[in-house]
Amino acid sequence: METKTHIALVTVPVYSHLRSILEFTKTLVNLNQNIHVTCINPTFGSSICNNVKTLFETLPSNINYMFLPPINLQDLPQDIHPALKVQATIYRSIPSIDDALNTLDSSSKLVAVVSDGLITQVLQLAKKLNILAYSYFPSTTMLLSLCLHSSNLDKTISSEYKDLLEPLEIPGCIPIHSTDLPDPMQDRSGEAYKVFLEGNDRFYLADGILVNSFLALEEMTIKALQQKECEGIPSIYPIGPFVQNVSCDKGSNFEYLKFLDKQEKKSILYVSFGSGGTLSNEQIIELAFGLELSGQIFFWVLRPPNKFGVIDDLDISEYEDDILFQYLPNGFLERTKGKGLVVPYWAPQVEILGHSSIGGFLCHCGWNSTLESIIHGIPLIAWPLFAEQKMNAALLSDGLKVAIRPKVNEKGIVEREEIVKVVKNLMVGEEGKGIRERMEKLKGDAIDALKENGSSTRTLTQLAFKWESLGSHLGTYNDSRLGL
């Protein structure tokens, strides 16, 4: 029988969130071998998709996991927005999560529960069990500051945020234009805004919030929140950046590797909108013409248009190449042959960004993709789509100045002429040189944060030691007692 400190981790069924929180978990148990983690995973649908299975099958032995019974969503509209599907799954999973936590705590005393920032209801469950409760926040400290101050903003601002004439002031952050606020804040009468506020209020139940960021990236915001801990703000732990080190195998990658290897260093613009982002058909056509007219070499991960601008990233279905390529302009593939590569649906992004031929990244500004670009020193074209991505884009372009942000027309479309302009500016222009230098500096800072005595490693090591010390007084961990 082995003495271990037992931590429960609660995830959400969003692939990008799963990737992030599992990278944190692997780092945690690597830093402290006396910590054992059990992951509790809400699910929807009849089966666990392959990309999720792969994430869990590669976990080390001191991380156990369980998938909760799938949530039945058949009463919801068939074409429901993926975000609402996730939200419904979260709410309906709370009783099962409560049961799982009670079982784990009774069989092997839990020291702490760490839950994804989208499922703050778990903080309440942990408090009922008198267990330390932490939230893992997979986005920016800037967004976290907004979340922690959203109730105060709600009380002090009477109008719709989108009608504000002046940028919004958030403690420790650059001023944010109302149009760049997260989606739920664009309609204060909507259900999404109510859910947003309720979830943010529950953050105050946390004993601490673990943020996938690092001190040199958001120092002003991190310190501003840490200074407010005496006012009731939970302890803030910047412990990132967490990015995947190894890409999942999706079959033969010879075509893209040959293409990358043929190109000069930093000559290719990589174009991808994350695990769930999609463009309208009109925008796909404008982007295609913009890339072609720019004359720059490109590598484009293409997905079909979708009315929501986002696909269900846990249920990715495959499209035949010829069906997917019909959304491109006539003759585009022939005209750009040798100058560009269009890959249907998916590509191993971490591996691609690490290739010496990549010189820029046209990115949706999801935080995983952003951190992956930072850790590889790749400058950005910031093209946000949904959720908090516009806020991330503002941080990258206006705050950190490591991105160029294209202008959209009155219909919300980035026109081909604008695409040509920003692509050339980033890849061969003077503006791009300055951005590249600043991104190289951030790359060094990110690497330093993760070194043995780096700021993020120190922070997580100290937290892990705190948990281990508490665990040594609670009893003995034994795998067989969990029935896992």
Distance in Å from the first CA to the final CA of the chain:
16
Q: What DSSP character marks residue 248?
A: P
Q: What tokens appear for 278 in the block?
A: 């999609």
Measured CA to CA, the distance from residue 181 to residue 159 in angstroms comes to: 14
Q: Are 236 and 222 in contact (CB under 8 A)?
A: yes
DSSP per position, 185-226 = GG-TTSHHHHHHHHHHHHGGG-SEEEES--TTTSHHHHHHHH
Residue whose tokens read 């209020």? 201
DSSP per position, 298-348 = EEEEE----TTSB--TTSPPP--HHHHGGGSPTTHHHHTBTTEEEEES---
Name the amino acid, one letter, at 187. D
Closest CA to 13 of 112, 99, 84, 64: 84
Residue whose tokens read 């990132």? 240
Is the bond preceding residue 175 a cis peptide, omega within 30 degrees? no
Per-residue H/E/C for 137-155: ECCCHHHHHHHHHHHHHHH
355 is catalytic: no
116 is catalytic: yes
Helices 15-31 and 50-57 pack at an angle, to 10 degrees, of 0
Q: Which of 17, 36, 364, 376 is flagged as catalytic?
A: 17
Question: Residue 446, class by beta-carbon neighbours within 10 Å (0-12 exposed, 13-18 middle, 19+ buried)?
Answer: buried
Q: Which residues contact 211 (CB under 8 A, 6 or more apart)?
A: 137, 140, 141, 144, 222, 236, 237, 238, 239, 240
Q: Are 192 and 168 in contact (CB under 8 A)?
A: no
Question: Residue 383, class by beta-carbon neighbours within 10 Å (0-12 exposed, 13-18 middle, 19+ buried)?
Answer: buried
Q: What are the distances in angstroms from CA 163 to CA 168, 181, 253, 364?
A: 11, 12, 48, 25
Q: What tokens appear for 31 in the block?
A: 């830093």
Q: Are 393 and 365 in contact (CB under 8 A)?
A: yes
Q: Which of 6, 105, 116, 376 is flagged as catalytic?
A: 116
Q: Are 16 and 276 in contact (CB under 8 A)?
A: yes
Closest CA to 349 of 277, 270, 261: 270
Say how many C-beta atoms besides its own lie within 10 A of residue 203's C-beta.
19
Q: List residues with catalytic annotation.
A: 17, 116
